[in-house]
Structure 1
Amino acid sequence: MQTLLNQLYARAPLSRQSAYQTLLRIANGEAAEPEIAAVVSAINMRPPYLSEIQGFRDAMLELAVPLDLEGRRTIDIVGTGGDGKHTFNISTLSCVVVAGAGYPVSKHGSYGVSSKVGSSDVLLALGYEFSNDRDRLLSDLDRAGICFLHAPLFHPAMKNVVPVRKALRVRTFFNLLGPLINPALPAYQLFGTYDRSVSRVYDYILQAESDRAYCIVHALDGYDEVSLTGGASVRGRRMQGVLYPADFGLPILRPEELYGGETPEEGRAIFLQVLEGTATSAQQAVVCANAGLAIQVIHPERSLIDCVAEARESIVSGRARGVLRKLLG
C-alpha cells in the first residue's frame, strides 16, 4: 500500500489493472481505514484519470450483486452528487416523471454526500423499503414502471469504505463511480457530473459501449444536472455542445429556487409537491427539463421542447404521481 500511496502522492496515474487491484484489496478488507482514507484523499487531490476510473469501475461491477432485467430496456437518470449545491432531489423526481410518461426506469442511487436529500434519503422518508431481491424489483418495474436499486445493497463489498466516506463528508472518486455502476446496466442513461473533465472521462468510457444510448450533462456553474440557472454542457453519441434554458422552452432560474432543505423530511415535502402539481414553477420546470432531456435520449429524433412537454404532461395528468403510489403500494 505504501508503494501505491507514493505513486498517488507523486500524481502519477494508476494503470487500469492497478486501479482494479487497489479496489479489490479495499473491498476484501486488506486495507485499514487510515490507508483507505489516505488513498481517497490522494485521489481527491488530482484530476480524474481515465485508466483509474475504468479500473475502479471494473472492480465495482465485478463485485456487485447482479440484476438481470430479462431484456427490459430501462433508463436511469443519475448524478455524481457532491456538487455542494443543496438542491432538492431532481434526478429521482425526474425518474418518476419519466416512468409516468411510459418509459421503464431502473434507478440506481444512495444517500446524499454533501446534502441530506440523496435518492435513498428521500425514498426512506417516503416509506419505501429497500431490497435487492430480483423478483420484487422486477415486479416493481412491471407494476409501477420503476425500480430502485439502493447502492449499498448492490455493492456490499464497499462496506469497508462507508466509515471513511461518512467521516470525510466530501465528494470522492466513489461519487464518480456511482452513476457508472448501475448493476442493471440500463440501455439508456442520463448522467450528471459536477465537473467538465469528469464528463470527458465518462464520454471516453461510454463510447466503447455501443449498445447503450446516453447523454452526459454538466451545468457550467457546477450543478451535476440541468439546473436552468445558465448553460449546461452536454455530450453523447449524437450531441455535443451547450444547452440553455431557452432550448428547453423554459425560463432562467435562480439558485435559491432549487434549494432542497436540510432534512429528508423537507426533501419529501418538495418531492410530493412536484408530483401533486403544487410545487413552485421553478421546481416543476427543472424537473421537466431533466426528464425531457432523458426522454430525448430514448427518442433522439424528437425535439427537446416536445420531450419537455411530454414530461410536463406526465405530472399534469397525474401519471407520475400514480407511479410513486404504485411503487410505495
Structure 2
Amino acid sequence: MDFTGNLKKIIAGQDLDEESSASMLMDIFSGEISEARIGAFMAALATKGETFEEIAGAAKAMRRKAIRIQTLSKKVIDIVGTGGDASGSFNISTTTSFVVAGAGVTVAKHGNRSISSQCGSADVLEELGLNLNTDPEIVEEAINEIGIGFMFAPLYHGSMKYAGKARQECGIRSIFNMLGPLTNPAAASCQLLGVYAPELTEMFAKALKLLGVSKAFVVHGHDGMDEITTTALTRVSALHEGAIHSFDLNPLDFFEDFADPKDLKGGGREENAAITKAVLKGEKGPRRDIVLLNAGVALVAADMADSIKTGIAIAEESIDTGKALEKLEQLVRFTQENG
C-alpha cells in the first residue's frame, strides 16, 4: 500500500504493521512526501496512538538511512532518554555513561542538543570540551579504543531533515520524538532507556525486542523523570532473552532516604558541565547517588553485574579510582586532536 493508503488507515484508527510503518518512513526520508502530508501523518498517528510495531518499523527505516558505526566489542550499551520530561535535572544519562565506561563497558552514546530541556547531552559534552563535529570514523575509533564515543545525531541521520519543517510547524510531540533512543548508529546490543511517560516503558521494551536488542531496561520515574529516579519509585520494563517483565524499582532498597528533587536540578550548559565534573571527581551526595543507581542498572544490562547492588559497588569503584573521569578526559582529548 502507498503512503496515502496507509495514511487513510491511520486516520480511520487502524494500526499499521511493522512493514507498512517502515514503508511510510522510507517515503518521508526519501524527500518524496510533502510537508502537509508529513504533518497529517504525525497528527493522525499521535491521535490514534502509536503501537510498538509502528515504532519499531519507523526505527528500522531510520536505521537503514543512518550512517553506521562498526564496533569491535560484541557488548555495547547506550544510556539515553527520550527527553520531554520537564524535570530540569542535570545530565544524568551523560554522566552515567562515563561511569559505566570507567567500569569497562563499551559505551556508544547517541544524542542531540536540547529540544525541550535547558541542556541536552550534546550541549553539556561540548561545554566539557568535546568536539561534536568529528567524522564517524573518528567516533568509531574512540568507541573501539577508549571504550566510549558520542554520536551527534544530526551527523548520522541526515534524512531527518525532510521531516524537520513539518515537525517545527506542527509543534506536537510525535513518533519522531520517540525514534532517537531506538536508532543508535552503533546498533547498541543493550540499553538503559528513559521514557517520558509510564505507559511507554513496556511499549519501548517490545519495540527494542523487534529491533534485536538482547537486554534492556526501559524506565520512567514516578516523579516524571526519564531516568531511574531517587526521589520516588521508578517504573521499569526489563527485556531479557525475549521476555519482558515490568516492576517498580525502589531507591530505598539501595539508599537510606528519597532524594529531594531540588537537589537534582541542573541549569544551563556551564552549570551542568560543572555538576558532571564534580560527580566524576567523587563529590558525594544526591547527584552521585542517582548516577550510581542508573549506572548500577546499566551494568546489569551489560552483564557486568549480576544485581543492581553489585552494579552500584562497581560504579562507585569506577568513580573513586578516577577511571570515570579519565574516560571523559580521554574522549575530550581524542576528539580535539582528531576532529
Q: Does residue 265 of structure 1 match 2:270?
A: yes
Partner of 1:287: 291
Q: Does 1:241 align with 2:247?
A: yes
1:307 aligns to 2:316 (yes or no): no
Distance in structure 2 (CA, Å) of the matches to 1:97 and 1:29: 40
**Which residue matches 2:336?**
none
Return the offset for 1:233: 1.7
Output the CA distance in 2 between the equivalents of 1:237 and 1:169.
32
Q: Distance in 2 between matches of 1:6 and 1:296?
A: 43
Shift of 1:286: 0.9
Which of residues 127, 130, 133 in structure 1 aligns to 2:132? 130
Contact 1:48 1:201 in 2 (8 A): no
Of residues 51, 55, 67 in structure 1, which corresponds to 2:57?
A: 55
Give the aligned partner of residue 155 of structure 2: 153
1:274 maps to 2:276: no
What amino acid is the match of 2:204? Answer: Y
3-state SS in 2 of match to 1:315: helix
Q: 1:120 to 1:178 in 2, by over 3 A?
A: same
Q: Alpha carbons of 1:121 and 1:41: their partners in 2 closer, same or farther (altered >3 Å)?
A: farther
CA distance in 2, matches of 1:250, 1:52: 42
**Alpha-carbon offset, residue 7 of structure 1:** 3.7
Structure 2 CA distance for partners of 1:164 and 1:318, relative to 1, 3 Å: farther
Q: Aligned-pair RMSD on alpha carbons? A: 2.4
Q: Distance in 1 between matches of 2:274 and 2:78?
A: 23
Question: Is residue 176 of structure 1 aligned with residue 178 of structure 2?
Answer: yes
The Cα offsets for residues 189-247 of structure 1, whole Å up to 9 and x where unpaired, read as 11111223322222223345666222221222322110112111222245531110122
* Aligned-partner residue type, residue 60 of structure 1: M
The alpha-carbon distance between structure 1 residues 166 and 315, as it changes in their structure 2 partners (threshold 3 A), is farther
Distance 1:43 1:141, change over 3 A: same
Opposite residue 282 of structure 1, the aligned amino acid is P
Q: Quote the offset at 1:53 in angstroms.
A: 0.7
Distance, in Å, in 1 between the alignment partners of 2:195 and 2:146 is 28
2:206 matched residue in structure 1? 204
- For residues 222 and 113 of structure 2, the distance between their equivalents in structure 1, rounded to whole angstroms, comes to 25
Alignment correspondent of 1:140: 142
Q: Distance in 2 between matches of 1:260 and 1:51?
A: 35
Structure 2 unpaired stretches of 5+: 334-339
Counterpart amino acid of 1:260? G
Structure 1 unmatched runs, 5+ = none
Shift in Å, 1:49: 0.9
Give the Cα separation in 1 of the matches to 2:210 and 2:159.
Answer: 26
- Give the corresponding residue for 1:106: 108
Deviation per CA, 1:89-129, whole angstroms, max 9, x where unpaired?
Answer: 11111101111112111111112221021111211222212
Stretch deviating more after TM superposition (12-21 or 163-172): 163-172
Residues 189 and 256 of structure 1, relative CA distance in 2, 3 Å threshold? same
Mapped contact 1:132–1:153 kept (Cα < 8 A): no
Amino acid across the alignment from 1:93? T
Q: Report which stretch shifted further, 137-146 or 106-115.
A: 137-146
Among 15, 38, 41, the residue aligned to 2:40: 38
Give the Å deviation of 1:60: 0.7
Which residue identity does 1:120 align to in structure 2? Answer: A
Task: Give the stretch that moved more between structures: 98-107 or 159-168.
Answer: 159-168
SS of residue matched to 1:99:
helix
User: Is 2:277 the counterpart of 1:256?
Assistant: no
The structure 2 residue matched to 1:80, chosen from 79, 82, 85, is 82
Offset of 1:319 from its aligned partner? 1.3
Greater CA drift, 32-41 or 285-294? 32-41
1:9, distance to aligned residue in structure 2 (A): 3.7
State how far apart, in whole Å, the 1-side matches of 2:171 and 2:280 are.
30
How many angstroms apart in 1 are the aligned matches of 2:71 and 2:317? 27
TM-score normalised over the length of structure 2 = 0.87
Tell me, yes or no, if structure 1 residue 224 matches structure 2 residue 226.
yes
Q: Work out which of the residue numbers 14, 23, 26 in structure 2 matches 1:24.
A: 26
Residue aligned with 1:196, SS: coil
C-alpha distance in 2 between matches for 1:286 and 1:40 = 35
1:67 deviates by 1.2
CA-CA distance at 1:176 after TM superposition: 1.5
Partner secondary structure for residue 78 of structure 2: strand
Indicate yes or no: 2:319 matched with 1:318.
no
Q: Name the SS of the counterpart of 1:65 in structure 2.
A: coil
Of 151-160 and 119-128, deviating more is 119-128
Partner of 1:213: 215
CA distance in 1, matches of 2:317, 2:37: 51
Identity %: 35
